[in-house]
Structure 1
Amino acid sequence: MKFRGKMAEYHCIRKFYAIISSIAKIAKTCVMRLTVDKMYLIMSELNNVVGGPAVWGEIDQENFFNEYNIEGVTPEHNEIYLEFSPDKMFKTLTSLKSPSVKGLKMKLTKKNSIPCLTFEVDLPSIVESRLCVHDIPVQVVPRRCWSEYEAPILPPVHVSLCLPDLKVMKRMIEKYRILGSTVAIAGRRDGSLSLKVESDEVVVASHFKNLRIPVSRSNQMPWIMLEGAGVDSATVRVDLKRLNQFLCSEQLVPERSIANIVDNEILHIMIVTHDLALQFFLPRTSKN
């Protein structure tokens, strides 16, 4: 197995670091799936009702890497699965925060018989460029376990809405956490969305109206809409802490943020930019 990639544009390097920062706040472990066309970031430590990963990220390598080469497990299975700690990667790669980063190289290496993702950060100095090298230990996921990281399948969706500004939602959810541990999210196909927190002392709700409805086109959305008479609203109660963690992805400045509700079952959030798609699967909770 071999992997080597190079980023030369500063905005790509900073965005990659922002992605690592976001997933570090969501899960303790992550699997990086490397294919010829894409890099996937898969988090499965959270159990959920749809089975499989709780977070599914897709990065189009052509929009990030100037050079990208991979030799997978076999020619027939030209992929590599690597498990790593997002928090450790985020804390190690602090040099990527420098506004003067000139380039970033990633490669799969072995240090003292331990597989690593090695990052070479090209930084300027007074005389010449200097190279800052970071080795992040990883575990190679054997092919017999790959089926555990297949793309999740979402049940038919009752309500699909474009979310308001994620920064506004995140501030609201952070305040709600003082009041309770869960939030009931209700959506209607007329473009309205409400978030309600209940406790023994108080009931607090926020309402959004006139939200855009995503245009569903065949084979272009990772979900299907449930059709039929009387299907115009849906509600699901989810864990506030987990929802707040997912909303940390607002730092990626998404072009679209979509919420799909499967009534009394699951909240599916999709964050989309021109080169990245992040899907979050948040199951209903039985907490009060």
Structure 2
Amino acid sequence: MRFRAKIVDFGCLNNFTRIVNTISKLTKSCTLQLTVDNLYFMLSDKVASGGVSMWCELSQGSFFDEFQLEGMAPNANEIYLELIPENLLRALKTTQNAKSLKIKLTKKHCPCLTVAADLPSLSSNSRVVTHDIPVGVIPRKLWQDFKEPSVPDFDVSIYLPPLKTMKNVIDRMKNLSNFLVLEANKNGEMNLRIETELVSVSTHFKDLGNPPWVSTDGDGSKEGSQERTKMAQVHVDIKKLQQFLASQQVNPSKAICSIASDRTVHFILLHEDVSLQYFIPAVG
């Protein structure tokens, strides 16, 4: 079992650091799956206890100049690691001026991801800074537990407003309640709403647009119009939503929210060769 990779391009290193930063803000611990073509950061808490799920997929060719992987067996060319993303982020933050960065799987006192940065030096000698990040190697018999979260049949999918705008709204609302109603329809409208015994507050967004897979009735019939304006809604823990919005360093080109009424809300952020999915289950 071997893994080694190298980043030379400064922009790629910066982008990779931003993604790890996002992951570190979403979870204290996650699973890192390495394959020949992609890297996956995964989190799958127990939904029954109100846990969230995350799935972040990166195309390795968009970040690494060299990428070599030998899995546990010829017919299983993959490696699964338990990782504390904050530890990886700390290592990456010290390498932002590096001429190159190498990451490899090593065996020290325990399995480690060793990050070695070739830093600029005033002398002719190179200056290499090395970080050993402890990881846990997940045995093959447990790999089946780490699969992409299943996606339910959603009632509505809608493009999100600018994430910074949405975050500012949530930051104000969180002082009023622990829970929030998120609702949207097939007419490009979305509402963020709080209702308590003392106060009722809502923010409305219009003309957001719906992804092309959202069915619409093109004949303009009354039934079609009613279907498009019907709101699907979900009650969520406002702190989980705030954490998701506060974590974002991905700068997505597209951000989509999908609602399965009274079950879950699914966010997906897309940016070039990176996709981040985040599921927040409904409450009560």
| TM, length-normalised to structure 2 | 0.91
Matched-pair contact (CA < 8 Å) for 1:93–1:134: no
The answer as to whether partners of 1:237 and 1:284 remain within 8 angstroms in 2 is yes
Residues 73-152 of structure 1: matches in 2 within 5 Å? 73-96=72-95, 98=96, 100-112=97-109, 114-128=110-124, 129-152=126-149
Q: How much has 1:198 moved relative to structure 2? A: 2.3
Q: Distance in 2 between matches of 1:203 and 1:53?
A: 27
For residues 93 and 247 of structure 2, the distance between their equivalents in structure 1, rounded to whole angstroms, comes to 18
Deviation, structure 1 residue 61? 0.5
Alignment correspondent of 1:180? 177
2:244 partner amino acid: F
Deviation at 1:135, TM superposition (A): 0.5
Shift of 1:204: 1.2
Please tell me whether the aligned partners of residues 91 and 115 of structure 2 are also in contact (alpha carbons under 8 angstroms): no
Contact 1:48 1:281 in 2 (8 A): no
Larger Cα-atom Rg: 2
Name which of 256, 263, 267 aligns with 1:269.
267
3-state SS, counterpart of residue 197 of structure 2: coil
Native 8 Å contact 1:158 1:226 kept in 2: no
Superposed counterparts of 1:1-288, under 5 Å: 1-44=1-44, 46-48=45-47, 54-96=53-95, 98=96, 100-112=97-109, 114-128=110-124, 129-216=126-213, 230=227, 232-286=230-284
- Alpha-carbon RMSD: 2.2
SS of equivalent to 1:154? coil
Q: Aligned partners of 1:53, 1:5: CA distance in 2, in Å?
A: 30
SS for the counterpart of 1:21 is: helix
Q: TM-score, normalised by structure 1?
A: 0.89
Q: Which letter does structure 1 place at the counterpart of 2:153?
A: P
State the secondary structure of the residue aligned to 1:57: strand
Provide the secondary structure at the position in 2 that maps to 1:25: helix
* 1:219 counterpart residue number: none
Give the 3-state SS of the residue equivalent to 1:252 in structure 2: coil
Contact in 1 for aligned 2:112/2:134 (Cα 8 Å): yes
Q: How big is the shift at 1:47?
A: 2.0
C-alpha deviation, 1:53, in angstroms: 7.4
With 174-183 and 60-69 compared, the bigger mean Cα shift is at 174-183
Distance 1:136 1:53 in 2: 25
Q: Indicate if the aligned counterparts of 2:21 and 2:249 stay in contact, CA closer than 8 A.
A: no
Shift of 1:245: 1.4
Give the whole-Å Cα distance in 2 for the aligned partners of 1:276 and 1:136.
24
My pick for the range that moved more, 115-124 or 171-180, is 171-180
* SS of match in other structure, 2:114: strand
Q: Which runs of 5+ in 2 are unaligned?
A: 218-222
Contact 2:159-2:256 within 8 A present in 1 as well:
yes
Stretches of structure 1 lacking an aligned partner (at least 5 in a row)? 217-223
Q: State the number of aligned residues.
A: 274
User: For the residues of structure 1 that align with 2:37 and 2:180, how far apart are their CA atoms?
Assistant: 38
Superposed CA offset, 1:41-98 (max 9, x none)? 0012x2226x9970001000010111001000101011000001112222343213x3
Deviations 1:173-193 (A, max 9, x none): 122111111110000100000
- Deviation at residue 266 of structure 1 after TM alignment: 0.5
Match of 1:220 in 2: none
Give the whole-Å Cα distance in 2 for the aligned partners of 1:277 and 1:57. 6
